[in-house]
Structure 1
Amino acid sequence: MKLSITVIGTGRMGSALAGSLLQSGYPTTVWNRTRQKTDPLARLGAIAASSVEEAVNAGEIIIVNVSDYEATKALLHSDAIASAIRGKLIVELTSGTPSGAREAAEWCTKHGANYLDGAIMATSDYIGTDAGTILLAGPREAFDTNRDVFRALGGNVQHVGEEPGRANALDSALLAIMWGVLFGTLHAIAVSQAEEIELGELARQWSATAPVIDGLVTDLIKRTSAGRFASDNETLSSISAHHGAMQHLLELMQFRGIDRSIVDGYDAIFKRAIAAGHLHDDFAALSHFLATGKQHAFDASH
């Protein structure tokens, strides 16, 4: 017999999670602050709980997908809920910080529950599909025991470590890449429009350029991991080449009245590295000019 699951929070993502569980045959109880949001799931066979306590009591696994950890605290941190979660598995799929995940894990284990903290690396339409990616951190045994449940949520659900903050840390790192691309695209659109370039042309040229950029990102991660910061015969991009091109972009944006706040931040990082004598190093050397305390150690070793 399949485990009973509770999903707390049935916004777009929570509804997708609950819907996939129902489709896979799991008895599913749902709760949402706005009761009407549970109605479509109830029509699919879910039980709509009238309170958080009722929802928690109904499930052997409790999946939480609300706005943030503060919302989770407001819903779960009571004596009644603390008693109800004993012996159960809490799966927190709410966006947050690594420190927030660690605090949540501490509270759950203190009250006798297992805890996995997760990051959903997908939009709601990917939930339940083979490409659906969810990162989970916490006790490996809790993950392995419930693989079938997680498989119902997506074909690429991964255990990324025992430390409960790991999934959210990876989430933040990957979002940093995503936002870099999205804001870069906004800048590209602004430049194209200012220079009267059709956006269809921008899209075509991006398709041709994307594999090059993907290769640069992969190389940057590999070189930083290996500690290869000086330029060598395999360098794909140096600080000097990128800094020179950045000045042209800054000049164009200034001339066209395009907001420079983000690219000025990039330029400030370039200038710190150049002032420290790293103009001709590999682009990977810039990694030492983002983290407090790393720059001096890097300069002392070079």
Structure 2
Amino acid sequence: MSRTNPSVSVLGLGAMGGVLAQTLLQSGCAVTVWNRNAERAAPVVKAGAILAVDVQSALQASDLIVICMIDKATSETVLSSLGPTFDLGGKTLVNMSTGTVADVERLARWADEHNARYLDGGILCYPKDIGAAKTAILYSGHPQAWEEHQLTLKILAGNPHYLGADPQACTPTYLALYAFYFGAFAAWLEGTVLASSAGVSVDDFKHLSSIMTDMLVDGIDTAADRITAGEYGGEQASVDVHVAGQEVVLDALVSAKVPHASTDAYLSYCRLAQAASMGDQDIAAVYKAMQP
């Protein structure tokens, strides 16, 4: 179990890392910080954090080390500078930087070779939402490290999700969720611009958008159930029906001279299903057509 008023080191004090450190401080944690540009540490030091003189001192100061740099490759470069004999004495590294699965594999190996327990992390919010009850951060990696530090990590996000012992489970799931989010956001931007061509204000379209976000949640639930059960009957709306409808949407976007990359992408996926003779099946069948 996590200790009362635990100590945490935060490496990286950019827009996200600085908020992580501030949130831990506000919860009563003893926080040590390090940043390649020490001037970035001034706000959190003023709030009560201890500034480590170097990265080695920051790692030695706490049992829990949170890394949030521009990317995992940068954090790997910083850690590798410590040399092959540096011993972390069983401390826990939580790397919340963005990166690739290959980055995670190397970092987890580095942690193991330097007597550390590794957790990979994926932050699913902007800095303004750190510390909120609804905010989610994904984790995967060392089970005992997660068990020991989960209460402290929950300070940063009230809705954490642990994906298991494989440290490589977090990053592709995190990236998949952002692919979904930004794809949907791009489609919303297309719609907002199209609606504005008809005189609908952004604020009005924002309020109307909840109709479709509710429909999207229901659509995801239905599609997931169909995919899991392998039931692709097209009685609600087949792939062919979706293609016909989206061609009308595309025509409206083109006529209004609105960019339409997300609509093009959706149509291209539907046509994959048509090419695989799934045009009469439910839109969930596109999942099958998209498999590599």
Normalising by the residue count of structure 2, what TM-score does the alignment of the two structures yield?
A: 0.91
Structure-1 separation of matches of 2:284 and 2:141: 32
Letter in 2 for 1:173: A
Q: Distance in 2 between matches of 1:148 and 1:286?
A: 40
Residue identity opposite 2:249 in structure 1: L
Aligned counterpart in structure 1 of residue 54 of structure 2, from 43, 46, 51 = 51
More displaced stretch, 110-119 vs 247-256: 247-256
Query: More deviation in 44-53 or 124-133?
Result: 124-133
Q: 1:147 to 1:82 in 2, by over 3 A?
A: farther
Code of the residue aligned with 2:250 in structure 1: it is L
* CA positional deviation for 1:246: 0.6
Q: Which 4+ residue blocks in structure 1 deviate beyond 6 angstroms? A: none
- Structure 1 alignment gaps of length 5 or more: 293-302
Structure 1 position 123 matched with structure 2 position 126: yes
Q: How many residues align?
A: 289
Give the match for residue 149 of structure 1.
Answer: 152
| Residues 30-50 of structure 1 deviation map (CA, whole Å, 9 limit, x = unaligned) | 011221211111111111123
Between 1 and 2, higher relative CO (CA 8 Å, sep ≥ 6) is seen in: 2
- The CA deviation at 1:165 is 1.6
Task: Decide whether the 8 Å contact of 1:57 with 1:84 is kept in 2.
Answer: no
CA distance in 1 between partners of 2:289 and 2:70 (Å):
33
Q: What's the RMSD between the two structures over aligned residues?
A: 1.9
Given the alignment, which residue of 146, 171, 177 partners 1:174? 177
The corresponding residue for 1:259 is: 259
- Partner letter of residue 249 of structure 1? V
In 2, the alpha carbon distance for the partners of 1:95 and 1:12 equals 14
- Separation (CA, whole Å) in 1 of partners of 2:100 and 2:180: 17
For 2:29 and 2:59, how far apart are their aligned partners in 1? 16
Distance in 2 between residues matched to 1:34 and 1:283, nearest whole Å: 50
Q: 1:206 aligns with which of 202, 206, 209?
A: 209
Question: Which residue of structure 2 lines up, in the alignment, with residue 274 of structure 1?
Answer: 274
- For 1:216-249, what per-residue CA distance to the aligned partner results, in whole angstroms no more than 9, with x for missing partners? 12211221222222335xxx43212211111101
Tell which deviates more after alignment, 161-170 or 250-259. Answer: 250-259
Please say if 1:195 is aligned against 2:198.
yes
Distance in structure 2 (CA, Å) of the matches to 1:24 and 1:258: 47
**Paired position in structure 1 for 2:108:** 105
Instruction: Give 5+ residue unaligned stretches, structure 2.
Output: none
CA contact (8 A) 1:240 1:279 kept: yes
Matches of 1:283 and 1:33 in 2, distance apart? 49
Q: Which letter maps to 2:258?
A: I
